[in-house]
Amino acid sequence: MRLLIKGGQVIDPANDLDQIMDLLIEDGLISRIGINIDENEVEVIEARDMLVCPGFIDMHVHLREPGFEYKEDIVTGTRAAAVGGFTTVCCMPNTQPVIDSAPVARFIREKAEKAGLVKVYPIGAISKGQAGQELSEVADLLAAGCVAISDDGKPVLKSNVMRNALEYTKMFGIPVLSHCEDMELSSEGQMHEGYYSTIYGLKGIPAAAEELMVARDLALAELTGGHIHICHLSTAGSLELVRQARKRGVSVSCEVTPHHLTLSDEILGDYDSDAKVNPPLRSVDHIQALIEGLQDGTIDCIATDHAPHHREAKDCEFQLAAMGISGLETAVAVIMDRLVHQGKLDVFDMVRLFTCGPADILGLEGGTLSIGARADLTIIDPQALRKVEPEKFQSKGKNTPFKGQVLKGWPFITIVNGKIVAREGSIVQGGQD
């Protein structure tokens, strides 16, 4: 398929490009970028007033398969990614069985390739069974296609295990993705500890529950020289710890989610469990600090922490409800509406946080529109208005606190390997309309 994308605002932070241009795709590769490209026998996509970007990458997704297919599976999860504007996702290991062996990693890769929509890279477990006791066979996991290791969903409580993980992965040049949570401080917590947890009568989770573990893992990364990546960073204190560690030369990166950037703990006053997430939604001062972290470059990427749940897990008493938000299909629109259109985040930086940011952390192919690169693209209509309707989600997870809200700025077309896989919220079967 030959595609000519005409007249869009081409934004490629990896090449410092931001210009109204045309882009030609041939044989699944980007073949030309220029002004007034005129080609015969091509399918033309009119992209005037659109943002033409490298394919967006989500480095933190829970696809749930194998073991929890009633919550999500690889097919539904990749369909959700495609309509959400993502061409690549990385799936976390808290499945059943855990991604702690090569056969499980290979199963995920093969299932994703059969689904034929977006690219999927598994994240292997740090420890066998995510039990936090013994390292997984990291070399085997990498050979089977894993791009990093993490026990996300569970913190690695033993410092010597985390130290060994950082030392071992340093040899392979991959990061350790850390879920930072002091389980004793967060035990039985329902929301952020602060003014609103007192008003609402819910047990709080203090910011220190995250910050203590961030401090420990940064110290271990400094000790070993390994690369630590802080998952779903949510507090001002954690951000400052990362900022100071980076000044000391520690190899550290971090991500933040759309919901932690745009929603505060105040919204839990109606006890809507769709807003119950771990780490919890924080107070407005933490949100402001995170936005400043985006602006000054301390935060390396935005990731959804897509955590779909079946209806029964959320439609129950707040204290019993599962934690997590289904985020793949709303992430881009939330960031566009709440940050870009509000003047809190430059569109160029937004694209960087979704493309070369995660690609650089994980050493992934993609995140660029360089000539000869694989033609993975995300085209965004910044003026598109659409209501969030969970019942129309491709994902099995309908758990979103953004339900019913009208957002401005949605993915228009998602292209993977030169084929259109999604258009205006719908899957394009067979790579064509």
Catalytically active residues are: 305
Tokens of 57: 């990458």
Interior/surface letters 333-367, b for 16+ CB within 10 angstroms, e for the rest = bbbbbbbbbeebbebbbbbbbbbbbbbebbebebb
Q: How far is CA 253 from CA 155, 230, 362, 401, in A?
A: 17, 6, 10, 27
Q: How far apart are CA 230 and CA 253, in angstroms?
A: 6
Q: Count of alpha carbons within 13 Å of 295, Cβ hemisphere only?
A: 12
Burial of 270 (0-12, 13-18, 19+ CB in 10 A): exposed
Rounded Cα distance between 26 and 325, Å, is 37
β-strand partners of 91: 61, 122
Q: Which of 206, 210, 256, 208 is nearest to 231 (CA)?
A: 256
Q: How far is CA 266 from the centre of its chain?
A: 24
Extract the runs of DSSP E, i.e. beta strands, from 207-355.
228-230, 252-256, 301-302
Tell me which H or E stretch contains 269. none
Distances from the Cα of 190 to the Cαs of 40, 195, 350, 394, in angstroms? Answer: 59, 14, 31, 28
Interhelix angle 208-224/236-247, rounded to 10 degrees, is: 20
Grouping H, G, I as helix, E, B as strand and the rest as coil, residue 76 is helix
**DSSP 8-class letter at 127:** B
